[in-house]
Amino acid sequence: MGELPDAADYGDKGSNTIGNVARMLGGLNMPNLQKMGLGNIIDIEGVPPAANPMMSYGKMAQGSAGKDSTVGHWEHFGIITKQPFPTYPNGFPPEIISEFEKRTGRKA
């Protein structure tokens, strides 16, 4: 919910999936989540803060460096990474593909 402090490092400045979806739709109607305190965590159009939320609520931030799925899953098990894993938004480099093909005996 909302961007993390390092969002700009990963090209994600302004990220806020639920907030942006709510704006695009002209607001969300989520009465049960509203009563639980969802609107108390972050501004969401159509989901006002609850005066007396029926549950405890909170917002967490990833402790590891990086933004890939593997890092997030590792954190579930208490593994915090200090160096982000490399990502390949334009595909794997040829040297990785050729090594993969060599080791698997298959074309990629």
Asked whether residue 82 falls in the same domain as residue 32, the answer is no
Asked whether residue 66 falls in the same domain as residue 29, the answer is no
Q: What is the mean pLDDT of residues 75-93?
A: 90
Asked whether residue 102 falls in the same domain as residue 52, the answer is no
Q: Which of 60, 79, 99 is the last residue of a domain?
A: 60
Asked whether residue 70 falls in the same domain as residue 83, the answer is yes
Asked whether residue 75 falls in the same domain as residue 96, the answer is yes
Q: What is the mean pLDDT of residues 66-88?
A: 89
Asked whether residue 34 falls in the same domain as residue 69, the answer is no
- Give percent of the chain above pLDDT 70: 100
Provide the domain count of the chain: 2
Q: Which of 60, 78, 95 is the last residue of a domain?
A: 60
Asked whether residue 54 falls in the same domain as residue 18, the answer is yes
Asked whether residue 90 falls in the same domain as residue 52, the answer is no
Give the per-residue pLDDT at 49.
Answer: 98
- In this predicted structure, the answer to whether residue 99 has a pLDDT above a threshold of 90 is yes
Owning domain of residue 94: 62-108
Asked whether residue 73 falls in the same domain as residue 48, the answer is no
Contact 50, 35 (CB under 8 A): yes
Other CB atoms within a 10 A radius of the CB of residue 19 amount to 19
- More confident position, 77 or 69: 77
**DSSP letter for each residue of the chain:** ----TTGGGGT-TT--HHHHHHHHHT----HHHHHHTHHHHS-BTTBPPPSS-SS--------SS--SHHHHHHHHTT---SSPPP--TT---HHHHHHHHHHHTS--
